[in-house]
């Protein structure tokens, strides 16, 4: 069942859903909470590699971290893909999961908020890495602090036995893929 604004507000008051910082009056919507765009981005560098090897342990050398200064925007060009981060940190209980949903106003300009990872596992804690793309024809300025996506909450049939403590738990900055760890098991 998807939570309504009334239930989300109650869960937040009870401390079951934690979103910090959050201005409930401005960010709580009918079926979710708007999250804002953080000020840090990871850009993938153009390299002379022939391909991306999924078994690699670390993609950090292939990226550059950019922190946008106050009042400035991050220019996302057509056909560009970057990793961003939410301004807010989110913490969920074991009986609740969330979906990251893009805003219609941004989608109508060709901005995708996430490419595949559109859910947040029960027990997750941290800021959310956003997989941002521009499929439009024009560059767009993304402004840190702007409402960027909506978090929609859904109850589980029962609490998860294993709370999420995976490779992205406790994220503070945009995280590149850690899929290479799966090849080491």
Question: What residues are annotated to the active site?
Answer: 131
94 in Cβ contact with 160 (< 8 Å): yes
DSSP 104-160: HHHHTTTEES-SS--EE-TT-EEEEEEEEEE-SSS-EEE-TTSEEEEEEEEE-SS--
Instruction: Report the distance separating Cα 120 and Cα 155, nearest Å.
Output: 12
CB neighbour list of residue 93: distance below 8 Å, 6 or more residues apart: 16, 17, 122, 123, 159
Do you find a cis peptide bond into 21, omega within 30 degrees of 0?
A: yes
């Amino acid at each position: 069942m998807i939570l309504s604004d009334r239930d989300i507000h109650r869960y937040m008051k009870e401390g079951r859903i934690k979103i910090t910082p959050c201005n409930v009056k401005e960010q709580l919507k009918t079926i979710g909470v708007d999250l804002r765009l953080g000020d840090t981005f990871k850009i993938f560098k153009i390299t002379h590699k022939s391909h991306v090897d999924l078994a690699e342990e670390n993609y950090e050398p292939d990226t550059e971290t950019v922190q946008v200064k106050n009042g400035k925007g991050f220019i996302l060009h057509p056909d560009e893909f970057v990793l961003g981060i939410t301004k807010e940190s989110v913490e969920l209980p074991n009986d609740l999961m969330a979906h990251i949903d893009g805003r219609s106003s941004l989608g109508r300009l060709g901005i995708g908020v996430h490419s595949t990872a559109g859910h947040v596992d029960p027990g997750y804690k941290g800021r959310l890495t956003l997989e941002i793309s521009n499929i439009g024809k024009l560059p767009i300025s993304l402004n840190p602090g702007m409402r960027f996506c909506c978090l929609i909450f859904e109850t589980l049939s029962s609490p998860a036995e294993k709370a999420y403590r995976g490779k992205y738990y406790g994220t503070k900055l945009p995280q590149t893929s850690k899929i290479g760890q799966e090849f080491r098991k």
